[in-house]
Structure 1
Amino acid sequence: MDQKNKTSTDFILLGLFPWFRYPHLLIIIIIIIYTIAFTGNCVLILLIWVDSRLHTPMYFLLSQLSLIDLAYVSSTVPKMVVNYFTGKKNISYFACATQLFFFLTLGLAECILLTLMAYDRYVAVCNPLRYTVLMSPKICLQMAAAAWIGGALAALVHTIYPMNFPICGSREIDHYFCEMPAILRMSCVDISAYEMVKFVSTIVFLLVPFILILTSYTLIFLTVLRMNSPKGRNKALATCSSHLTVVSLYFGQAIFIYMTPTSAHTPEQDQIGAVLGTIVTPMLNPLIYSLRNKEVVGASRKCFRRCCN
């Protein structure tokens, strides 16, 4: 009761899977995954920065993806771990709004960036002679800026509205961080109009990018099938398969959580989807791009030899 009565505006985070029988084991697993995700994305950013062979549009966009994943996983996990070890579950209204804003900004920016990365692969495979013009350093910077700014502007709207809905009764958030569906579930007013706004936004930021990505890869595969060189065909498929794997992981859970009404899925399903999107995917991204990319593996070996010498 002391936790709940700290202030009238504080929220109570119930944590990740409060019904789980072995919370100590769960938090250890989360810490291990976070450490792998943090280290993997930092190493990938460092490799792209120090190795001149990776100073290309594809790897510049990949470094931006790693930066987003680094911030993405750090926006939720540290707070959850601190709450677990201190035994405190309250989070202030301002802290909750801030966490929601950064979470949405990074999530929406990743949607845009994954679409731009698919466009980069489309130009590289289907229009290679114009690649240096269509993917110049200036255009790459504009793409990265568009992803960050577009994500921030949309996140601002979807932070202000949910955080201003009146809440009746308990202020307990059945989640390990302040996420939109969990906050909407506490509201005591009719949110059907906002649910429609959320649905339209998810079409713009989730469904449309997903369709554009599928269109890009359909054109890429048609071009690859017409290639006479098996080596060129295999190289094109290798770089595209890594990105497609990441897209499937990220968009699958995001479409499930945000393109369906809040009442259509349980808090447990929301948490499972959030874990896949905000913890597991940031851990897998650097592994997928590193293990299946000869250039990144070569850069890591070169960097390792340089450090040993």
Structure 2
Amino acid sequence: MSFSNVTRIRHFFLLGFAGLPPKYYAPLSVLLLLVFLAIACGNTFIIILIKMDRLLHKPTYLIFCHLALTDLAFGAVTLPRIIWKYWTGNSLISFHACFVQMYFVHFLGATHSFILMVMALDRLVAICLPLRYVAVFTNTTVTLLCGASWLMPIIWMVSLVLDALTLPYCGSAVIVQCYCDHIGIMALSCEDTYAVAEVAFGLAMYSLLFPLAIVIASYLVIIVTVMRVSSPNSRTKALSTCTPQLLTTCLYYMPRCFVYMANNAGFTFSVPLRISVIMAYSLLPAAVNPLIYCFKTQHIKETLKKKFCRSKIGV
């Protein structure tokens, strides 16, 4: 492809939730704003809490920090523009801003998936090799693995965006989604996008399925190891340490896998339902994850109780 292709579209129109009557625009914008505030406040709180409490400077909580950062960034990339659309009625997004948003949407999704893989490996070593955990899974190890999870998608996402950017666009300019994504943009190209779409699909499946395979294998090994423990209390305690990780992982992977399998099985969603499902599985986990970290992680729960008790004594 040559960068000399002429682009006829200067702006895209974000369709948002198809078929929504205008009278619901203001309530929807308020609802999306509340979701955004929940994502921003909850994940910022987790990052600051772990950063400021030295007792939480451990591998597991550093991974939570990286996950919270991806959730926070994803909410910041996707929600403000769609909130603005429904608050002001302005659906326009500039051509290049749309590609920038597309880049970060897919980049952050891939990064989150790889960090979930690191989290599963952390639990695998902690439960299956407890005597070696402190030596194997150090803060440095987690920093390197999570750093790689951030760096790896940069390369192929840049290539993906550049390939899409070189195509000519002269369609209706309406993106049937609440934010710019690769499928929505490719549908507006004047040329055959089969090759670009196949590459994009392959990268998406690699970003999703490779970490998912490691996650599933890790938790299967964990379950087998725990079932071999003779004491029921020890089994329960070992599995309870995986609860927040399992909940976070299921919230991310299960809806995506369901949608992909449904599509492959020939089941088609209506446009409004498809958009609603994608927005739900993209944003609700980011809003819920901080609650999981706080109420399902023993050390974070104890830290919050101590801080709360101190604040009451101070009052």
Same fold at TM > 0.5: yes
Find the counterpart in structure 2 of residue 275 from structure 1: 279
Give, in angstroms, the shift of residue 258 of structure 1.
6.8
**1:164 Cα deviation after fit:** 2.9
CA RMSD across the alignment: 2.3
Spell out the pairing of 1:110-189 with structure 2 (5 A cutoff): 110-189=112-191
Calculate percent identity across the aligned residue pairs. 30
Question: How many Å apart are 1:301 and its aligned residue?
Answer: 1.8
CA contact (8 A) 2:102 2:181 kept: yes
- Give the corresponding residue for 2:11: 10
Residue number in structure 1 paired with 2:3: none
Q: TM-score, normalised by structure 2?
A: 0.88
> Counterpart of 2:241 in 1: which secondary structure?
helix
Residue 5 of structure 2 is matched in structure 1 by none
CA distance in 2, matches of 1:186, 1:27: 27
Q: Structure 2: which amino acid aligns with 1:19?
A: L
State how far apart, in whole Å, the 2-side matches of 1:155 and 1:104 are.
Answer: 7
Q: Residues 162 and 235 of structure 1: is their aligned pair in 2 closer, same or farther, counting only changes over 3 Å?
A: farther
Structure 1 residues 67, 213: CA separation in 2 closer, same or farther (over 3 Å shift)? same
In 1, Cα distance between the equivalents of 2:280 and 2:199?
25
Number of residue equivalences: 302
**In 2: Cα distance, 1:255 partner to 1:197 partner:** 19
What residue is the counterpart of 2:70 in the other structure?
68
Equivalent runs, 1:222-237 vs 2, <5 Å? 222-237=224-239
Partner in structure 1 of residue 31 of structure 2: 29
Match of 1:296 in 2: 300
The alpha-carbon deviation at position 267 of structure 1 amounts to: 4.1
Deviation at 1:289, TM superposition (A): 2.1
Q: What SS does the aligned partner of 1:175 have?
A: coil
Equivalent position SS for 2:168: coil
Q: 1:79 aligns with which of 73, 81, 93?
A: 81
C-alpha distance in structure 1 between counterparts of 2:25 and 2:88, whole Å: 14
* In structure 1, C-alpha distance between the alignment counterparts of 2:158 and 2:47, rounded to whole Å: 27
Which residue in 2 is equivalent to 1:58? 60
Deviations 1:215-274 (A, max 9, x none): 00000000111123333322221232322222222123444667868x966543542243
Gaps spanning 5+ residues in structure 1: where? 1-6
Q: Is the 8 A contact 2:77 2:105 kept in 1?
A: yes
Partner SS, residue 236 of structure 2: helix
User: Counterpart of 1:243 in 2: which secondary structure?
Assistant: helix
Distance 1:170 1:13 in 2: 11
Partners of 1:224 and 1:236 within 8 A in 2:
yes
